[in-house]
Amino acid sequence: MLKRRMLPLLVLAAATMSAVLPAQTTQTLPPTASETQLPAIQGIGRYVTSSDGTMIAVTDSGPKLSPVTILLVHGFLHNSQVWFKQINSPSLAAFRIVTMDLRGFGYSSKPTDPTAYSDLNLQADDIEAVIHQLGLVKPVLTGWSLGGIAVQGYLEKYGDNELSGVDMVDSIVCPDTACQQTIFGGLANFPSVDESVSTDASTALAGEEGFVNLETGGTEQPSPVLSATDRLVLEEIAHTSPQFARAAALNGAATDLTPRPEILENLHVPLLVQHGTNDPIFPASLIPNEVKLVKNATVKTYANVAHMPFLLAPNAFNLDLQSWVLTKVLVHLP
């Protein structure tokens, strides 16, 4: 039965490995002032409505009849544009790929009440709204960094019954307080984190640049491995989030890193961990204590890569994701 389910997908994957699928339509979300600097994103743009009325922006790309849907959730200071090397990847062209902008970022609504960001239940509801209002059937839920914390909120509130797999990208489900303290202690060494939420424009701009350096090179100095084009993309994306939203999201993340070993222990679908070995934000040394609580975990690390393997090592990242989906996830699909 599994072989019969896999055959159409393997045929489709083989047919699309050498070329990216053509765009199905132009993006219908309103443009930003810097949109011409950002990479072209295939797919249909639309909104869904979360439980508190917040509008969550999504893009929907790839074949709608694919048996596999991957829902990508971005991290702090960014939006769904950071996934352009996945959306445009030949390795993933056989899959339906949906992205969402976290509340306060990108095209999503930006509530002014700080509690709209500190309540992890609301972020869980945002993901649930995307899954149900788009009619996604057992998607793979992928969370990077802050997006991984939102994924934790979803799993804590809704469980994994509506999922076929979970992919945590440079994000950690802390099983104990030692993990939490390690992350907080490390972040205290990087001024750019707090500077990025400053109300002073010049300080915030310096913080954005330092944080991009941290994510891509592991220090707050300019990363030698980041291309000029990719740097421009990341800095343009960072400019689009308002100060109050990023500050509220950062403060909320401090609470959201509460140890949750029960999430790992109760996970019934396959878990993929994709992580840069030089990540200064969520150190890779924390992974073993995380995955030992999971029955079906696959770990893929990327040597000498910091916090963004999907951008800095996209070919390896995408092939690992494709392989895991084909070998581990399909058994959970209807």
pLDDT tens-digit series, residues 129-178: 999 999 999 999 999 999 999 999 999 999 999 999 999 999 999 999 99
Token pair of 149 as six digits? 């914390």
User: What is the 8-class DSSP label of residue 260?
Assistant: -
User: What is the 8-class DSSP label of residue 112?
Assistant: S
The Cα–Cα gap between 83 and 314 comes to: 10
pLDDT at residue 88 is higher than 50? yes
The Cα–Cα gap between 329 and 139 comes to: 10
Q: Tell me, what's the pLDDT at 27?
A: 35
Q: What percent of the chain has pLDDT over 70?
A: 87
Pairing of strands 55-61, 271-276: unpaired
User: What is the 8-class DSSP label of residue 63?
Assistant: -
DSSP H or E stretch at residue 232: helix 228-239
Q: Tell me, what's the pLDDT at 44?
A: 66
Helix or strand or coil: residue 143? strand
Which range (60-64, 106-110, 128-132, 221-225) has the least confidence? Answer: 221-225
Range 2-17+44-332: architecture per CATH:
3-Layer(aba) Sandwich (3.40)
pLDDT at residue 42 is higher than 70? no
CA atoms within 13 A on the CB side of 10: 10
Question: pLDDT digits over 285-319, tens only?
Answer: 999 999 999 988 999 999 999 999 999 999 999 99
Contacts of 206-215 spanning 24+ positions with Cβ under 8 A = 208/77, 208/235, 208/238, 208/239, 209/235, 211/77, 211/238, 212/238, 214/190, 214/280, 214/281, 214/306, 214/307, 215/281, 215/306, 215/307, 215/308
- pTM of the predicted model, to two decimals? 0.88
Domain boundaries, the chain: 2-17+44-332
Question: pLDDT digits over 7-21, tens only?
Answer: 344 434 433 333 333
Sequence-distant (6+) residues with CB within 8 A of 226 are 212, 216, 217, 234, 312
Closest among 110, 145, 151 to 248, alpha carbons compared: 110
Q: Tell me, what's the pLDDT at 8?
A: 42
pLDDT at residue 34 is higher than 70? no
Token pair of 322 as six digits? 């494709």
* Contact between 130 and 60 (Cβ < 8 Å): no
Mean pLDDT on 224-250: 92
* Contact between 69 and 140 (Cβ < 8 Å): yes
Q: What is the mean pLDDT of the chain?
A: 88
pLDDT at residue 40 is higher than 50? no
User: What is the 8-class DSSP label of residue 318?
Assistant: H
Closest among 99, 76, 93, 62 to 245, alpha carbons compared: 76
